[in-house]
Structure 1
Amino acid sequence: MSIENVRQHLKKFKLEKRIVEHEEVGDTVEHAAQVLGCDEKQIAKSLTFSINSAPILIVLAGDAKVDNQKFKAFFHTRPKMLLFKDVEKLIGHVPGAVTPFAVKKNVKIYLDKSLSRFPYVYTAGGSLNSTIKLSIIELEKYVEHNGWIDVTKGWALN
């Protein structure tokens, strides 16, 4: 079960109790914001792509959209999202519950600069009804990421 994998991963950092399970499902940015009573932009969504047949995960703010030109400039290829049916097999979490924690070892994770404007954000917790509240400093420290990138548009510094 994905949430148990996330719990075990976060236990290494004494953060496993930060996972909150909700009665309602928060499988989209909109649903998660409603469940949490926060702005959609504070939801750290995790989008999955394939780069040269290898899976990657980009964590970005809920109000940000991938900018195709910025993506291509950074990754030297057009963005190609993973198929819904392949996400769990390649990433380790079901669509709607993808979190940057406890992913498969071969997945490269990137944090998008759209997140950096917030003191804290909410990520999925490994199930459709779980979340984790983390400061940006904690997110940067505890996510095994490959760096900060700028591949989004549609958000403003506010």
Structure 2
Amino acid sequence: MADSPSQARVRQALDAQGLATDIVEFDTHTRTSHQAAVAIGCDVAQIAKSLVFRCQHSGQALLVIASGANRICERKLASLIGEPIGKADADFVRSQTGFAIGGVAPFGHITPIRIVIDQDILHFDAMWAAAGTPNSVFRIRPKDLVSASGGTLADVRLD
């Protein structure tokens, strides 16, 4: 089966980083961490969920990649980036990343995006991330996820 345009961008980004991994497409949705973990057969904590926020002063997008088991502390994020953040709607997410909510990949975005990564992903040998569509994922080592995305590791988990 041919890649969708969104999956093709993810595959190109993986190839550009020299990361050989397969994009796995499911007949069911993998939009949420729970759905993805069930489809893959892994622990929900091994899902690299992508959350897009809108920075309230600059209007820029902020992508947070977190362990699927963790909730994100918006206060910690705001302190880290130096401005308050708010939720991003579906149109904003698509216009900034090129992906629909539930399929936002950690890279392959259509615009440059600041990325913060939950340091808890380092507890695992492998993570599963969205591959550009709400039913496709790929497996990646946490250190490769950090380097390929250009993200900054931080403690962003809600305590």
What is the TM-score with the length of structure 1 in the denominator?
0.88
Amino acid of the residue matched to residue 141 of structure 1? S
> How far apart are 1:153 and its partner, in Å?
1.9
The answer as to whether partners of 2:96 and 2:111 remain within 8 angstroms in 1 is no
Structure 1: runs of 5 or more not aligned? none
**Helix, strand or coil for the counterpart of 1:44?**
strand
The 8 Å contact of residues 122 and 143 in structure 2, kept in 1 or not, is answered as no
User: Could you give the per-residue CA deviations for residues 75-127 of structure 1, whole angstroms, max 9, x where no partner exists?
Assistant: 23333121122211111111000011101333111211121211111000111
Percentage identity across paired residues of the two chains: 27
1:64 to 67, 70, 74: 70
The equivalent position to 1:149 in structure 2, one of 131, 146, 154, is: 154
Structure 2 unaligned segments of length 5 or more: list them: none
Instruction: Indicate if the aligned counterparts of 2:29 and 2:35 stay in contact, CA closer than 8 A.
Output: yes
| Aligned pair partner of 2:50 in 27, 46, 49 | 46
Matched, 1:78 2:84: yes
**When the two structures are aligned, how many residues end up with a matched partner?**
153
TM-score scaled by structure 2?
Answer: 0.88
| 1:13 CA drift (Å) | 3.1
Determine the C-alpha separation between the residues in 2 that align with 1:89 and 1:16.
28
Paired residues for 1:107-126 under 5 Å = 107-126=113-132
Q: Which amino acid in structure 1 is aligned with residue 94 of structure 2?
A: E
